[in-house]
């Protein structure tokens, strides 16, 4: 059984989620200790338990230690079964993170799967729905994996209640990627959203973002609207489409945070990416590596920033796979990642 120290690297829930995904896909059992040891509320929380139980359901796994606050978990997977699955996090926990946990194994299952998840769709410390749909999934599609994702209802922190639906159509063959240069910027667009709050807040977010972009001789088409949701919240998202890649940057409103700062935050995220080197953004780098590690041919990409999340994910991957992943560059700087299956 593979032994994993959950306090290693970033020491967060990502270690658990990556281990669950790879365990299900490869049929390799694991035991994780010190789960989220460095966090303010260590151990398994409701969102992490939903990930565990989702992985358990799709693989018929035998699980020990799956209780709130648990610092240790054993997971022995069975065979992954495609099917129709529904999961309710019960809090504003991230629907995106639960979806990503089971997406990888279901992408390689025999048959199509339909997934419904209830929880937080646009919440802190996780990729928002729009990042998955418009940045992560299009890159997966380039490998040959066909996944669609739709949102029925938005869910902000702390009430959650959002609803997403995903359909996974496994590919007959998976292709590597080679994206060393992002190419020229073809299109820059975004959305500015308020949920059960005055629409002028979204207009202020938009105006602030456009001001930042104009100061760098850039323009963007920003749509303003109020989506169906439970609770209140604001959100801003920018999508940059380049010749060879796509990058996304977002910001969430919160009590005491000015609308202008929400728009500025996302716009500055794009400016930092646009002004530097790297074909894909920092979030996408750590999210795509597990898929590339499962292929039988080499992949290569450059990233604007080598993050702790990326390095931690590579560490987890090497626990499960005999794969050579070369990182050229230092943490916090741009770099090149080469994934060479053995």
Q: Catalytic residue numbers?
A: 309
Q: Which three-class secondary structure state does DSSP give residue 2?
A: strand
Q: Is the dihedral of CA 332, 35, 155, 108 positive or negative?
A: positive
Phi, psi values for residue 123, rounded to 5°: -135, 160
CB-based burial of residue 248 (10 Å sphere; 0-12 exposed, 13-18 middle, 19+ buried)? Answer: buried
**Tokens found for residue 212:** 């930042």
Buried b (16+ CB within 10 A) or exposed e, 62-71: ebebbeeebb
From residue 67, give the alpha-carbon distance in Å to each of 28, 29, 118: 22, 19, 20
Cα–Cα dist 277/284, whole Å: 15
**Tokens found for residue 152:** 């029925």
**Beta carbons within 8 Å of 270's beta carbon, 6+ residues apart:** 188, 213, 238, 240, 247, 249
The neighbour count for residue 155, using CB atoms within 10 Å, is 31
Residue with tokens 């999210």: 287
Q: Which three-class secondary structure state does DSSP give residue 277?
A: coil
Q: Which residue, among 14, 1, 2, 5, has the nearest Cα to 311 in the 3D structure?
A: 14
For the chain, the 3-state helix, strand and coil shares in percent, each to the nearest 5, are 35, 30, 35
């Amino acid at each position: 059984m593979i032994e994993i120290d959950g306090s290693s690297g970033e020491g967060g829930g990502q270690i658990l989620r990556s281990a669950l995904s790879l365990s299900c896909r490869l049929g390799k059992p694991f035991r994780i200790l010190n789960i989220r040891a460095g966090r303010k509320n260590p151990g398994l929380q409701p969102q992490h338990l939903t990930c565990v139980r989702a992985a358990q359901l799709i693989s018929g796994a035998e699980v020990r230690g799956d209780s709130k606050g648990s610092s240790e978990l054993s997971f022995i997977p069975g065979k992954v079964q495609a099917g129709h699955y529904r999961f309710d996090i019960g809090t504003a926990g991230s629907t995106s993170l639960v979806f990503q946990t089971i997406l990888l194994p279901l992408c390689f299952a025999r048959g199509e799967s339909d997934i419904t998840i209830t929880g937080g769709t646009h919440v802190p410390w996780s990729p928002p729905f729009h990042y998955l749909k418009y940045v992560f999934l299009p890159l997966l599609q380039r490998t040959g994996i066909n996944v669609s994702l739709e949102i029925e209802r938005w869910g902000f922190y702390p009430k959650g209640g959002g609803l997403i639906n995903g359909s996974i159509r496994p590919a007959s063959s998976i292709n590597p990627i080679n994206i060393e240069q992002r190419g020229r910027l073809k299109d820059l667009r975004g959305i500015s959203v308020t949920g059960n709050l005055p629409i002028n807040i979204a207009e202020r977010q938009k105006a602030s973002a456009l001001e930042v972009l104009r100061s760098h001789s850039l323009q963007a088409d920003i749509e303003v609207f109020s989506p169906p949701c439970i609770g209140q919240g604001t959100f801003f998202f920018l999508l940059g489409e380049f010749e060879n890649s796509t990058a996304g940057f977002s910001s969430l409103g919160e009590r005491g945070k000015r609308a202008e700062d929400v728009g500025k935050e996302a716009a500055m995220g794009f400016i930092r990416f646009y002004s530097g080197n790297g074909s894909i953004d920092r979030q996408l780098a750590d999210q795509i590596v597990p898929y590339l590690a499962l292929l039988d041919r080499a992949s290569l990409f450059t990233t604007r920033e080598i993050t702790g999340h990326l390095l931690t994910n590579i560490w987890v991957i090497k626990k499960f796979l005999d794969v050579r992943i070369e990182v050229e560059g230092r943490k916090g700087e741009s770099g090149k990642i080469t994934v060479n299956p053995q």
